[in-house]
Amino acid sequence: MTPLSPTEPSVLIEEKASLQAKKIRFEINKIRLPMGLEKEFGSIKHPGASLAVPQTNDGKFVLLRQYRFAISRRIIEFPAGTLEDGENPLSSMKRELGEETGYEAYEWESLGQMCPCPGYSDEIIHMYLARNLTHIAEPPPGDDDEDIEVLIMSKSEINKCISSGNELLDGKSITAWYRACQLIEN
């Protein structure tokens, strides 16, 4: 897995407005694009996130059914979390996996990085395949606003879920699943 392609920054001409909401900030800036055009654009500045595809020792996968206020729905996702400022993505994911699922993993393999929303967010998600799982005797507490249910699903159940669309998996989860399926045995 190679790193992301080199950046080609736009030039900041003028900061117009911004709003901070916990870890994310929305900014409206006037910028000069590499093509030469100067224009105002709004976008999210995000500290980045990490995600794990956790495979149990009997070959199933740990997912979450989670309430997401932004889309007013419960959807199925792989465990993931927003980085604390300057936090290492893998360390963050090890902590989140314990908090969200009660599992600890002893084998971690990179599934690369992805951009969930390149049109208006700089978020980059670091994805991992987590194997050799054990239950944590006393899992650490998660965030007070998380409303989640832990699911154990087989490969075919996940594929059926994605293809039927009966329950939605989000973009980062389907991307990570696509990458994981290239590494796991059939």
Interface residue with its own copies, options 57, 72, 156, 186 (CB under 8 A):
72
d(CA 106, CA 110): 13
Q: Is 170 in the site for its own copies (CB under 8 A)?
A: yes
Question: What type of residue is 114?
Answer: M
Q: Write down the least CB distance from residue 107 to its own copies, Å.
A: 20
The region of 55-63, 92-100, 130-138, 169-177 touching its own copies under the rule CB under 8 A is: 169-177
Min. distance of Cβ 85 from its own copies in angstroms? 17
Q: Per CB under 8 A, which of residues 115..134 are in contact with its own copies?
A: 115-124
CB of 15 to its own copies, least distance (A): 12
Site for its own copies in 89-118 (CB under 8 A): 112-118
Looking up tokens 């395949």, which residue turns up? 129
* Residue 132 or 181 having the CB closest to its own copies: 181
Per CB under 8 A, 135 contacts its own copies: no
Minimum distance, C-beta of residue 83 to its own copies, in the bound complex (Å): 13
Is the separation of the CB atoms in 107 and 87 below 8 Å? no
- Nearest alpha-carbon partner for 42 in 54, 53, 33, 31: 31
CB 76 within 8 A of CB 154: no
Does 17 engage in binding with its own copies (CB under 8 A)?
Answer: yes
Tokens read off for 165 = 């669309």
What Cα–Cα distance (Å) separates residue 50 from each residue in 65, 75, 124, 166, 180?
A: 17, 18, 8, 26, 15
Supply the minimum distance, in Å, between the C-beta of residue 20 and its own copies: 8
Q: How many CB atoms lie within 10 A of CB 22?
A: 6
Cα(22)–Cα(144) distance, integer angstroms = 14
Q: Is 137 in the site for its own copies (CB under 8 A)?
A: no
Chain position carrying tokens 């093509």 = 35
**48 near its own copies, judged by CB under 8 A:** no
Query: Exactly one of 50, 55, 101, 175 binds its own copies (CB under 8 A); which one?
Result: 175
